[in-house]
Structure 1
Amino acid sequence: MTPLALAPPATEPVTLTEARQFLRLDQGDEDELLSTLLTASRLMIEAAAGRCLIEQRWRIVLDRWPAKGEIRMPLSPIARIEAARVYDMLGAAQTVAEAALTLDRSADPPLIRLTGEVPEIGRDHGAIEIDVVAGYGATAAAVPAPLRQAVLRLAARWFEERGDVASRDARALPGAIAALVAPFRRGRL
């Protein structure tokens, strides 16, 4: 299973204005840098939490349908399935009926269950594509406050302590930020 990012979020969970207020910046001289740090912080928090924060489009590529009829999604949370298709022997895309796939959002990780007839696959690799929208919602208000705070604090840390801080943080999040993310991490056995 391969997840492919199709479209990044239209917005960040923390606005440039919020970050400037948090940092007590009156001038907009470094807005470009701060915007870049907000995006990098979101990506780092998403990786640490194992969650997509703001709605973003992804494509899940599979070689074959799972034997048990359940696809454990590598992304969380999943808002909806947008489309699904299977490539036949001639390489033509066959649309999968909407009723054939059911999204179980309550499972963690989310599951897509086969609940109807699906087309036969026609090639060995990359035969199935499922387009999904992952994230808590389309706006920052939908993102849990601790995750928004983690993005803000990490961007502020990188802004205030420029230099090699980013390389240290790449190995492990600072304790206070990791504590904000911890309740959202998916447990592993």
Structure 2
Amino acid sequence: MFPILVDGPAVEPITLAEMKAHLRVDDDADDELIGGLVKAARLMVEAVSRRILIEQRWRLMLHRWPQGGTVLLPVSPLIAIESIHVFDASGAATEVTAEAFESDALSDPPRIMLHGAPEPGKIRNGIAIDLRAGFGAAPDAVPASLRLAVKILVAHWYENRGDVAGEQVLPPDAFALLAPFQRARL
């Protein structure tokens, strides 16, 4: 299974004005830099926490249904399953009806339980699952600690542009804010 980003977030979890106020920057000379740092920090927070901050559309491709009929989704939190398509040997798609699966957005990781979905005819990429994931569409839907982690990262990167040699790691205070959201790897 591999996730493909279909549509990124419409907004970032921290606005440019909010970030500039946090950095105490009054002029507009670094707006592009600060905006880029906010996006990079969001991506870093999403990667470390293994959570999508702002609503995004994703497509998951599977070769076959897993044994037991439960698909563990690699992106969370799950907002909704938009559609599931199964492809036959010729590549024609058939939509799986809503009665043939059930989504569980509250489990960690989120999952889909199948109830008689058809088997794919293609050997590779026979199943496409389109979904929306994230805490919500607006910045205020993102937990405050994750928004603060983004601000800390941006401030760290902004203040240390080109000045840091050696290994780059998350500032300890940002990492501490992300720890409760990390999913254990077994």
TM class by shorter-chain length? over 0.9
Hey, which bits of structure 1, 4+ residues long, moved more than 3 A? 164-169
- Per the alignment, residue 182 of structure 1 pairs with 179
Counterpart contact for 2:79–2:134, Cα < 8 Å: yes
- Superposed displacement of residue 119, structure 1: 2.5
| Mapping 1:43-122, distance limit 5 Å | 43-115=43-115, 117-122=116-121
- Superposed displacement of residue 13, structure 1: 0.5
Name the count of aligned residue pairs: 186
Counterpart contact for 1:86–1:96, Cα < 8 Å: yes
Bigger mean CA offset, 14-23 vs 106-115: 106-115
* In structure 1, C-alpha distance between the alignment counterparts of 2:80 and 2:179, rounded to whole Å: 25
* In structure 2, C-alpha distance between the alignment counterparts of 1:78 and 1:167, rounded to whole Å: 37
* In structure 1, C-alpha distance between the alignment counterparts of 2:154 and 2:58, rounded to whole Å: 25
Structure 1 residue matching 2:109: 3-state secondary structure: coil
Letter paired with 2:171:
P
% identical equivalent positions: 48
Which whole-Å deviations, capped at 9, do the CAs of 1:55-111 have from their partners, x for residues lacking one? 101101000111201001111111100111011122101111122221111211111
* In structure 1, C-alpha distance between the alignment counterparts of 2:16 and 2:147, rounded to whole Å: 13
Q: Mind listing any 5+ residue stretches in structure 1 that lack a counterpart?
A: none
Computed over aligned residues only, the root mean square deviation of the Cα atoms, in angstroms, reads 1.4
* In structure 1, C-alpha distance between the alignment counterparts of 2:152 and 2:74, rounded to whole Å: 26
TM-score of the superposed pair, with normalisation by structure 2: 0.95
* In structure 1, C-alpha distance between the alignment counterparts of 2:42 and 2:120, rounded to whole Å: 37
- Superposed displacement of residue 54, structure 1: 0.5
- Per the alignment, residue 23 of structure 1 pairs with 23
TM-score of the superposed pair, with normalisation by structure 1: 0.94
Which whole-Å deviations, capped at 9, do the CAs of 1:92-142 have from their partners, x for residues lacking one? 011111222211112111111113x32231111000000011101001111
